[in-house]
Amino acid sequence: NAGVTQTPKFRILKIGQSMTLQCAQDMNHNYMYWYRQDPGMGLKLIYYSVGAGITDKGEVPNGYNVSRSTTEDFPLRLELAAPSQTSVYFCASSYGFGTGANEAFFGQGTRLTVV
Amino acid sequence: KNEVEQSPQNLTAQEGEFITINCSYSVGISALHWLQQHPGGGIVSLFMLSSGKKKHGRLIATINIQEKHSSLHITASHPRDSAVYICAVPIQGAQKLVFGQGTRLTINP
């Protein structure tokens, strides 16, 4: 099983450039998430989706956009990169956490540097 | 106040020592998650628990729902246990998780 696949693993952007972080899962999970992890800080939720066609903002959505056209894919778009977006980005997916029986699966992360 | 608080933030120990990492939370939950993140690596789920205790090898997780507290223990610690350990709880109708800030564990040989 591939699980959650994130690409790229590393990227350096110049200020003002755009890019899309790709995330795909093959577990038929309804719930997908994008987090950023700054040094010494906990994971902060950027956007999440509870199913195809449905997305919602998390704690830190400014500067990002998402779409969810299929169950499998949940790309994260940075339109005008800023140094404050230098971080490690993680995509995750789950069946949801309501029953307590469903774990979260994470991608390997994308280390993004904006210079 | 954060909904999830972990302690300690950093922990250094010698190989073989018994390790305890604590997690306190302020919301009612269906289950608590413990995650592990190796340096430069991805994040993997270690445990989900809603009551009592779970054990995987040398790792043991306990939870006290009434006290809103969970602990992660590592017996006979080894340098390969060096990682960041993160606890997380579901919020907002269990649609998403909120995370503690993590505990950075270093086990010296």
CA proximity to A97, closest of A43, A15, A33, A11: A33
In order of A13, B24, B25, the CA distances from A89 in angstroms are 14, 25, 25
pLDDT at A57: 95
CA distance A33 to A44: 10
Report whether A109 contacts A88 (CB < 8 A): yes
Question: In this complex, is the C-beta atom of B105 within 8 Å of any C-beta atom belonging to chain A?
Answer: no
pLDDT at B94: 62
Q: Which region among A89-93, B1-5, B19-23, B47-51 has the lowest average model confidence (pLDDT)?
A: B1-5
pLDDT at B87: 95
Report whether A47 contacts A34 (CB < 8 A): yes
Question: In this complex, is the C-beta atom of A102 within 8 Å of any C-beta atom belonging to chain B?
Answer: yes
User: Helix, strand or coil for residue A109?
Assistant: coil
pLDDT at A110: 95
| Phi/psi at A55 (5° precision) | -135, 160
Instruction: With a cut of 70, list the residues of chain A below it in pLDDT.
Output: 1, 98-101
User: Helix, strand or coil for residue B81?
Assistant: helix
CA distance A15 to A115: 6
Question: In this complex, is the C-beta atom of A10 within 8 Å of any C-beta atom belonging to chain B?
Answer: no
Q: What is the DSSP string of A36-100?
A: EE-TTS-EEEEEEEEETTEEEE-S--TTEEE--SSSSB--EEESS--GGG-EEEEEEEES-SSSS
For residue range B32-90, list pLDDT tens digits in order. Answer: 999 999 887 789 999 998 889 999 999 999 999 889 999 999 999 999 999 999 999 98
Residue B99 has pLDDT above 60, yes or no: yes
Which residues in chain A are closer than 8 Å to B97, comparing Cβ atoms? 33, 97, 104
Q: Which residue of B has its CA nearest to A58?
A: B96
pLDDT at B3: 86
State whether A43 and B86 contact (CB < 8 Å): yes
Question: In this complex, is the C-beta atom of A89 within 8 Å of any C-beta atom belonging to chain B?
Answer: no
